Each structure stands twice: as structure tokens, then as C-alpha cells.
A = this chain, B = another copy of it.
Amino acid sequence: MMLLDGAEFSFSPTAIDPSGARHGLLQTPHGTIATPAFLFCGTRGAIKGLTAEQVRQCGTQVILANTYHLSLQPGAETVAQLGGLHRMMDWSGPMLTDSGGFQIFSLGHGGVAREIKGCRGRPTARTLIKITEDGAWFRSYRGGGIHLLSPESSIQIQRLLGADLVLPLDECTPFHADRTYTADATRRSHRWELRSLEEFRRSTGKQAIYGIVQGGIYEDLRRESCAFVGEHAFFGQAIGGSLGGNREQMREIVAMVCGQKHPTKPTHLLGIGGLGDIMHGIGCGVDTFDCVHPTRLARHGGAIVPPSLSDGTGHWNLKNARFAKDPNPIDASCPCHACRTASRGYIHHLFRAGETLGGQLLAIHNITFINRFFAAAREAILAGRWREFCRINGENI
């Protein structure tokens, strides 16, 4: 039994490539998402620098917003008073919110996001106070007060925000957590996820809830967690937790989890956004992805380009002096507003002059690029040409 309010949610993989890549239709009250699909991050209730209309015009199907940031500013009650997230943001399509836990643990452990993705770097300010059976105690970066994010409060907040797809509170363990700690945390996450389901049942709203597969880098824990999410009434399943210390390990873990996941629940891979990793994930049967990469890269001058054009990074840095007098668009074959109207030289100038329009034009390009990439991936799966698609895009599977 799927736990649904109003039965306006469904998911049906309609085409499965022999490799495991699949195309499906994920129905929500705000429209149907053709999968595989990418969710763009509207962290604080805005896709940075773009109106929702511009995001739509880039071919975007679905976006996400972050419960942690929104619950501190403007607050979930205020979002509800402003008509809920969809109305507040003028986004009429499908939307997902996370539980808020990831930011608390990420800030708390000093950059778990980087660790999960196997990156190193300077730790950020710690805001996590402690983890108890109740939930996560943290210090707000606005005002400094101490708050508890519990499974119940996360669901209550997400009910007020009103996104179509919601996530239960889980503990995001850092890479350096050992097996004993990871096993404890995974089982605590399961108890939290059950409490989230209970709270979800007690409340109402046209929403569907995903379960989150934890277990870190440990195969038996991942198997246990897949079984847990598969057997309970979660509409979908998200792959969370530590994915290892480097890209190879991340891919191994994604493949291993996908081999044990529920076969028909829609599957979301949290926080992965490189094209190669996306192709690998799709090949494993992942349906949806999210990452700040396309929009963050844009703010720093990066234009995503086809693998054949880039030097391995997957993008051009338009702040580079070699683009200063270049009258060509980023990609003459790209139909996005930036490529139809702006030269590389103009975008270079906008960054040099400190004009935010440069980052906005690049965000339009990058979002359009990713949406077209996913559209082409869906077409390839439907046509039984998935392996060829990966090869053309520099990914040998």
C-alpha cells in the first residue's frame, strides 16, 4: 500500500533499457515528471537570480527547496500564510522539500556535504548541538536560539510548506563514521522514518513521502535499509548518507544500493550532479537527481558545455580572458535565451563589471543544458540507445 493523500501520485517505469536505465512518468498534483529528471535547487525559495517563469522557460520540470533555510527565514507559518511554497514562489510545477536534517548535519559535522561527496576542505561553522532519540538539536544561524528538529516537526514544517514530495528526517553520517556508529545511526534513522510516516498519516495535504536509504559504505547495512524502505508505505526511495571517499566508491555504492532497492518505487539520488555520475546513476536505475552544481557554477562564471568541447571539467570559465572579445554564443546549437541573445564576450564583460546579469545568463544556459541532457537521455532510453548515448557523452558503461 502506498501512503497517499488523494491518490494523485503514481509512478510507472514505462521503458527499461537492457542496461537498467529506465524512463517513467511520476505523477503529482502539480503535473507529471518525465524521468529521468533533474531537480534544480531553490534553496531559500528562489532559484538564485531567476524568476520562476525563466526557470520554466528553461524546460524545467521540477524544483526543490530546503526546509532548514525556509523554516528559519521566513518560517513555515509565514510560507503557509503566503499561500504555500508553490504560490509564494510562483512555481506551478512539481516540487520537493528535504527534511531539513541534511543542513543541520552538514553544518554540524563541519561540511558533511563535502565528505559525502568525497571532497576535502575547511570545516564550516558547527551548529549541531547533539543528536538524541528525539531528533537533532541545533543552534540557529539566525538569532542563535537552540532548536530541536524532530521527525514530527520536520513533517509538520513540510506540511506547511506544501511541496508535492517530502522527505523524512534521517541522520546524515559523515564519511569517517565507523561501522558501529553507522549501524546505530542507520537504525535510529529507520525509527525516525517510521515516526515521520506516523506524523504524515496524522496530518493532511496533497503530498507523498519518500523513505531514505542509509547505511553508509557498508553493504549489509545498505541491504537492511533498502529492505526497510521497500517494505514500508513510502511512495518513493531516496539514496542518502555517506557515499564513500571518492567518485569510484560513490559509484560502487550507488550501484550496490540500486541492486537492492524496491523495483518500482521512484528512486532519487541525493546531491549528485556531474554528468558522468548522472549517466552512471541512470544506468543503475535512478530516476531523479538534484544538485546545486548547475546554478552555483553559473554564479562563478562556469558554462556547462558538451563533454566534447570541455577539457575534462565539463564547463568553460567565461571569466577567462580568452573569452573577452569572443562574439559567439556559448553554444550556437543551444536554444536557451542566453545562447540566442548573448555573446561569450558580453558574459565575460558582465562578470568583469560585477553585473549579476552574467550569472543569470549562465544559470539560464546551465539549467537549459541539463534539461536538454535529461530529455535526450529519456529519448535514448525509449529508443533503446542508452549505451550509445553514454558513449557519445564520454561515459563508457
Interface residues of A (CB under 8 A from B): 44-46, 48-53, 69, 73-74, 78, 81-83, 88-90, 324-325, 327, 337, 341-343, 345-346, 348-350, 352-357, 360-361
Contacts and interface: CB of A to CB of B under 8 A. Distances in A.
B51 A355 contact: no
Contact of A345 (B51, B82, B349, B357): B82
Contacts of A350: 44-46
A348 B79 CA distance: 12
B51 A346 contact: no
Contact of A73 (B53, B74, B353): B353
A350 B79 CA distance: 12
B48 A78 contact: no
Given A353-B73, A355-B46, A325 B51 contact: no
A52 B361 CA distance: 11
Nearest to A91: B341
12 contacts: A44-B353, A45-B353, A45-B355, A46-B350, A46-B357, A51-B337, A74-B353, A78-B349, A81-B325, A82-B325, A82-B343, A83-B327
A159 B343 CA distance: 21
Contact of A343 (B46, B83, B348, B349): B83
A346 B78 CA distance: 9
In the complex, the count of this chain's copies comes to 2
Would you list the 3 A-B pairs with minimal beta carbon distance, nearest first? A90-B341, A44-B353, A74-B349
A356 B48 contact: yes
Contact of A346 (B88, B342, B349): B88
Given A49-B360, A325-B81, A327-B81, A88 B353 contact: no
A356 B353 contact: no
Contacts of A51: 337, 341, 357, 360-361
Contacts of A345: 74, 78, 81-82, 88
Contacts of A88: 343, 345-346, 349
Given A49-B356, A51-B337, A52-B341, 5 more contacts: A45-B355, A46-B357, A82-B346, A89-B346, A356-B356
Contacts of A74: 324, 345, 348-349, 352-353
A323 to B, nearest CB: 11
B357 A49 contact: yes
Nearest to A349: B74
Contacts of A78: 324-325, 345, 349
Given A74-B324, A353-B73, A346 B45 contact: yes
B357 A48 contact: yes
Given A327-B83, A345-B81, A346-B89, A44 B337 contact: no
A349 B142 CA distance: 14
Contacts of A337: 51, 53
Nearest to A89: B346
A262 to B, nearest CB: 36
Contacts of A48: 355-357
A53 B340 CA distance: 11
Contacts of A73: 349, 352-353
Residue with the greatest number of chain B CB neighbours at <10 A, chosen from A82, A90, A356: A82
A337 B81 CA distance: 21
Contacts of A83: 327, 343
Contacts of A89: 346
Contacts of A341: 51-53, 90
Contacts of A348: 74
A289 to B, nearest CB: 23
